[in-house]
């Protein structure tokens, strides 16, 4: 038998996790953290838990209408138990290197345009990854103990104590099929269909 792959968690600001689970955005912009494997971002798995963190999160980096979401989103402070509210399917991804490509996505995420440009310019030799994701909110959130290796600036974390597959738990899509198709179509068309790459298959490990 083939060993079952542990589903990793995508570590992101709690306010962005809140936005994904509220259906307010369907994309994420990633460059990779200082502790990234190989110091470059890659997609660890098509399916991922959402790990909400308050690390690096600041309200002034969000558009005005969403700054108060910092106060209402559930985060997991360093050293405290981690509360898992949902998971995502990465249905497609693109990489961009130019400001005009990023400008095409303006308004499709709750960051300010200025902060999105900072993400693009940081580690300028690396492209900015655009992840198109369908989020699912768990009907009953999970809480797991904190471990020291969960901290630090990284995108992917293997969390101990979670089920092997988030799809085994009751959950509700953040957006209906029709609404998600509409939102994802807008993101795809912003960059052009040829810019996007679809995952090779369900639960396949993808590295980059």
174 in Cβ contact with 6 (< 8 Å) = no
Residue 163's pLDDT is: 92
Residue 37's pLDDT is: 62
Rounded to whole angstroms, what are the CA distances from 98 to 94, 101, 120, 130? 13, 5, 8, 13
Domains and CATH numbers, the chain: 9-195 (2.30.130.30)
Task: Give 10-residue mean pLDDT values along the chain (208 residues).
Answer: 66 95 95 64 91 89 94 82 96 95 94 93 89 97 92 86 93 97 95 86 37
SS (H, E, C) 29-92: EECCCCCCHHHCCCCCCCEEEEEEECCCCCHHHECHHHCCHHHHCCCCCCCCCEEEEEEEEEEE
Residue 97's pLDDT is: 94
Residue 124's pLDDT is: 83
């Amino acid at each position: 038998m083939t060993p079952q792959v542990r589903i990793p968690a995508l570590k992101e600001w709690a306010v962005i996790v809140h936005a994904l689970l509220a259906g307010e955005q369907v994309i994420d912009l990633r460059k990779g953290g200082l502790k990234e494997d190989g110091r470059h971002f890659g997609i660890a798995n098509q399916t991922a838990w959402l790990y909400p963190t308050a690390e690096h999160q600041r309200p002034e980096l969000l558009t005005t209408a969403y700054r108060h979401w910092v106060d209402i989103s559930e985060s997991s402070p360093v050293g405290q138990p981690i509360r898992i509210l949902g998971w995502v399917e990465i249905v497609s991804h693109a990489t961009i290197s130019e400001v005009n490509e990023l400008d095409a996505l303006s308004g499709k995420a709750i960051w300010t345009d200025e902060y999105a440009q900072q993400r693009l310019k940081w580690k300028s030799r690396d492209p900015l990854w655009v992840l198109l994701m369908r989020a699912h909110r768990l009907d009953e959130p999970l809480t797991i103990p904190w471990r020291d290796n969960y901290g630090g600036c990284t995108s992917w974390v293997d969390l101990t104590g979670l089920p092997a597959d988030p799809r085994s738990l009751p959950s509700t899509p953040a957006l209906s099929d029709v609404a998600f198709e509409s939102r994802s179509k807008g993101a795809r068309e912003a960059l052009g269909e040829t810019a996007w790459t679809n995952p090779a298959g369900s639960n396949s490990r993808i590295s980059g």
